[in-house]
Structure 1
Amino acid sequence: MRPREVVKAWVDAFNSGDPDAVAGFYDDDAVNHQVTREPVEGRTAIRDMFAQEFAQAEMVCIVEAIFEDGDWAILEWKDPLGLRGCGFFHIDNDKIVFQRGYWDKLSFLRQHGLPIE
């Protein structure tokens, strides 16, 4: 699959709220670095991160644009509450090996009524 197709399928898994489905898109040694926190390393740890986040809040990713450059895909997204962000995905052999996401954590916490750290 092309990187943009991997990311489109990842979005569908993300929107299902199933951490196992989302984790299946990652390489065993993948790194997920959401800039609001320390990088998470390894598929199992990434799966656990999504399980915790899905339990904390209902999250929906609405694709605004997906760009592709070589083995990279860039996702520009919004959610139903107005939060916007973007993610950079490095894809190798149809698996995400590195992901970095940029979004406003303070706005997310406020929108979902979660405690501000």
Structure 2
Amino acid sequence: MTPRQIVEEWVKRFNTGDAALIADLYDENAINHQITQDAVEGRNSIQAMFAAEFEAAEMVCIPEIIHEAGDVAILEWRDPIGLRGCGFFTVKNDLIVFQRGYWDKLSFLKLHNLPLE
């Protein structure tokens, strides 16, 4: 699968809210670094991160555009309540090995009525 296809599948799985399903797209030693928090290393830790996030808030990813360049796909997204962001996915051997995400954490917390950290 191309990086774009992996990201398209990632969006489908993300929108199910199933942490185990989405974690299967990551390499065993993948790193997920959402710039608003510390990097998460390893598939199991990434699965735990998604499980906690899916439990805390109902999240929906609506792709605006997906760009692909070599082994990297870039996802510009929005959600139904007004949050916007961008994710960069490096894919090797049909698995995500590195992901970096940019989004406004303060807006996320306020829009989901979560405590400000």
TM-score above 0.5, yes or no: yes
Write out aligned runs for 1:9-20 (5 A). 9-20=9-20
CA distance in 1 between counterparts of 2:83 and 2:49 reads 20
Q: Which residue of 2 aligns with 1:95?
A: 95
Say what the alpha-carbon RMSD is for the aligned residues. 0.3
Q: Distance in 1 between matches of 2:3 and 2:22?
A: 15
Aligned-pair CA distance for 1:14: 0.2
Unaligned runs of 5+ in 2: none
**Counterpart in the other structure of 2:116:** 116
* Segments of 4+ moved more than 3 angstroms: none
Output the CA distance in 2 between the equivalents of 1:64 and 1:108: 18
% identity of equivalent residues: 63
Q: Which ranges in structure 1 are unaligned for 5 or more consecutive residues?
A: none
Deviation at 1:59, TM superposition (A): 0.1
Hey, what's the Cα distance between the residues in 1 that align with 2:113 and 2:90? Answer: 32
For normalisation by structure 2, the TM-score amounts to 1.00
Residue 113 of structure 1, CA deviation: 0.3
The TM-score normalised by the length of structure 1 is: 1.00
Task: Give the C-alpha shift of residue 27 in structure 1.
Answer: 0.1
